[in-house]
Amino acid sequence: MLKKNKGNAHSGEWSYHYWKKTAFTASLDKKITGLSNGTYQLSVWSMGGGGENAIKLFARGFDNSEKEISAQIKNTGWKKWKQYSIEIPVQNGEVEIGIFVDANKENWGNLDDIELVKLN
């Protein structure tokens, strides 16, 4: 859920925060169209308590195949922000980007400053 809490944001006052009393999975994703072909970098800043089964930054649908590019995210503590990124070779003018979380009960974290930037 998007939460306003400057103390849990990498920059600004808002970040995407997750936590639940029971185990859960969640996906935050968006399809972007109208892109010029080329290489893009997708990045996100993450921090949290750790212990999740998996957290990944991903991109798919960038070349008319079912290929997915991803980077594993590992949280190591409160305010221990780390940036993760992947390079995406967009060949069809679009891409679906996102973050997937597979969490155990009471795992928590914050994601912020998600950017998609064209490199060339």
* Residue range 27-73, pLDDT digits in tens: 999 999 999 999 999 999 999 999 999 999 999 999 989 999 999 99
Alpha-carbon distance of 50 to 106, in angstroms, equals 10
pLDDT for residue 1 is more than 90? no
Question: What average pLDDT does range 13-40 have in this prediction?
Answer: 97
The reported pLDDT for the residue numbered 2 is: 85
